[in-house]
Structure 1
Amino acid sequence: MQLRMVVSFHFRSKEGEVVVLTFGMASVTDIQKSGSHKLIDALLEKNITPFVTLFHWDLPQTLQDEYEGFLDRQIIQDFKDYADLCFKEFGGKVKHWITINQLYTVPTRGYAIGTDAPGRCSPMVDTKHRCYGGNSSTEPYIVAHNQLLAHATVVDLYRTKYKFQKGKIGPVMITRWFLPFDESDPASIEAAERMNQFFHGWYMEPLTKGRYPDIMRQIVGSRLPNFTEEEAELVAGSYDFLGLNYYVTQYAQPKPNPYPSETHTAMMDAGVKLTYDNSRGEFLGPLFVEDKVSGNSYYYPKGIYYVMDYFKTKYGDPLIYVTENGFSTPSSENREQAIADYKRIDYLCSHLCFLRKVIKEKGVNVRGYFAWALGDNYEFCKGFTVRFGLSYVNWEDLDDRNLKESGKWYQRFINGTVKNSAKQDFLRSSLSSQSQKKRLADA
């Protein structure tokens, strides 16, 4: 297996640009023979700071075949050995390490509904006959537990054996905000908070307190693993920073939890139904993704404000990097439409406005922002059917790349921020024009 490094997205601060790289778990020989050192050296020569992700869902197939990957505790030692090698090889140059990308994703999409690798779920959940086995009610919690232990073990390794490298390390959380479906209904308000606990607290409570949220222990019961005292001490506080990915917000309303049943998944345990419209039939905001099969999704710029404030107030004011924030467009657009890309400008601009607002008003410790993505790429579950890039990539000729209008806008934004942050007006998009200022403020 070859080492995989992908330039994913970037941010330029006064200290220079940042590029996030993704490693695939690899052997000693693979790493030493790869061009990774040359790439990192070239980035540093250009004053580009590399952020390296150790695991972005790219588990070697042999570990899945041998013991089902993160479903088995053996992964903890294997992940530690792999990280040890990466720290040894690259730690003199890399000072920002991400252990696992989106802790929530592999347990849910990989082991509850089977849409992502490794594709495990219960037989009756497997309506498209793609899962080769699994239990959607139990396996997600086991995988999540082992992820947390693997993450914490690697952080402990870095803080002890590689303390002299003077770097920082942390996980990445996928975040959403949850609004009550009916803001006057106490049950909807409770559903939104319960969803926060099952979505964010599932990982953040162990990472800050060494235990799972009370509501999860109450509802999930014996299906939820327990930490030993030693494990709880290892996991609690096992980060120097948090990477927070944010894309959308949803409305939450109560829905009966069908456990036990053959079609049950761990994602149903919160007892919440999620929608993009509220009790009045109002959608959250502009269209995010058009989907004629599963239904359209919509985005809500102010959600990033609420998420950042929530993590500051509930989880001890952590150092935060917004490690993903971006917009999807269909690859069916022609080249001219794809490069014009005004919808991505609206999305980025509106979210950056609320990010600046929460930093100023709430004092959230956000150190950097990473737009997803530098270029159009292969998207999990979607392949080449969508585009997330600031640069256009011709799928049939990968040397054919052009900076989109969104990329040019982002360049101007970055340069304006670096040169005169006090007077930065965020190069306002159509969403924040005079005629729509109130709409954006309420969004």
Structure 2
Amino acid sequence: MSDSKENISDPIKKNPPKPAKLVGVKGMNDLLPADSFIWEKLERSLISLAKTYGYQNIRTPILENTGVFLRGIGEVTDIVEKEMYSFEDRLNGEQLTLRPEGTASVVRACVEHNLLYDGPRRLYYIGPMFRHERPQRGRYRQFHQFGIEALGFSGPEIDAEIILMSQRLWDDLGVSGLRLEINSLGNEVERLAHRTALVEYFETNQALLDEDSLRRLKLNPLRILDTKNPSMQDMVEKAPRLIDFLGEESLSHFDQLQEILKANNVVFKINPRLVRGLDYYNLTVFEWITDQLGAQGTVAGGGRYDPLIERMGGKPAPACGWAMGIERIVELMKEQDIVEDRSTQCDVYVLHSGGKTVVPAMVSAEVLRSAGVDVMVHASPDGKVSSFKSQMKKADASGALFALIIGENELETNSFLLKDLRKSGDQFSYQMEDLLDKVIDAIVSQSD
């Protein structure tokens, strides 16, 4: 006979420990419904803006061969040296990187698929990027960018166009308080002459350079001009200016850009110390800056990158573009209180009394959806029929313009009730055969 103790259930198995709550990776944030409508509004504006100027969408993979960014961004940059998420694919040994920015990927795609074969291209992208850095407001490890790339155009008018696009975006969104700073980085010969003068100047002032600047002195001295170290600002301000090394052609390009911007009433400031963080830029560079987001003041920026296409293995071709951080613009929209207090989930919220009223409620919803009306049908979380009072609270919370009610009485008379939830609060009864006409008319009159 077996020991009776063997039949006693293990208390640990009977009451297993509660699983630990899983959380997301720091700096890689969830987008929750409370904010998703702001993102959707912004994304609609961005896509509409791109189409207004004749730009087409391009989508590249989140993962690229690491060489795309080593060659495209440059090895002596903070992105490549400190911030890239790179790893070896254990299946085949490939070196892969989560994309830290969009331009190098777009250029790689254009070269690989020979997109410039039949002429220049106007392209835009939107999606997540990844950089391994300390998360802070408006700056995260997974962030999202919208970018514009104009490939195959050499004139200053395309530089002006992409700046005008960004100005139009701020106007369309109602975002204020942004200031535009522009500069010219000239061509390679001019930058080399400036670099020589810059190295000589910084070597003379080597005692004032911090550790980062000493490292950059021989490799990328132009980046020293972008230092945020307060103790170096006075010395940096007195450094040789690139604009003083520009030749006639570069100056003419810069002058024409300014002329177009002025003619379109775009206010800007020339900042001779403005350099972009990536080393593929030449001639025009620009940034849009705000003082409302703390230390991370740049919300968008770009410029011309004529050397990049050839560097990525393509035939030499000019190019320029800009990118903006979507998180930063969302923060700015919230800061300036230019977004709605709540999102509207639907136009019509359908209420029913369960039982046989569920079928006509579902059929009515599909009829309206086929006509382009956004509809939610009430569904009880516990499977029981909710009271009409409870359902009406849900209808109001949904932001719907109207409640469409189908109860037992309506079922018997083949009718429905339509209640105005936003203006008058009036409620009317109509025959089911008039469903589409009455609801559409009501929505149209609500928007007038």
**Shorter-chain TM band:** under 0.3
TM normalised by structure 2 equals 0.20
TM normalised by structure 1 equals 0.20
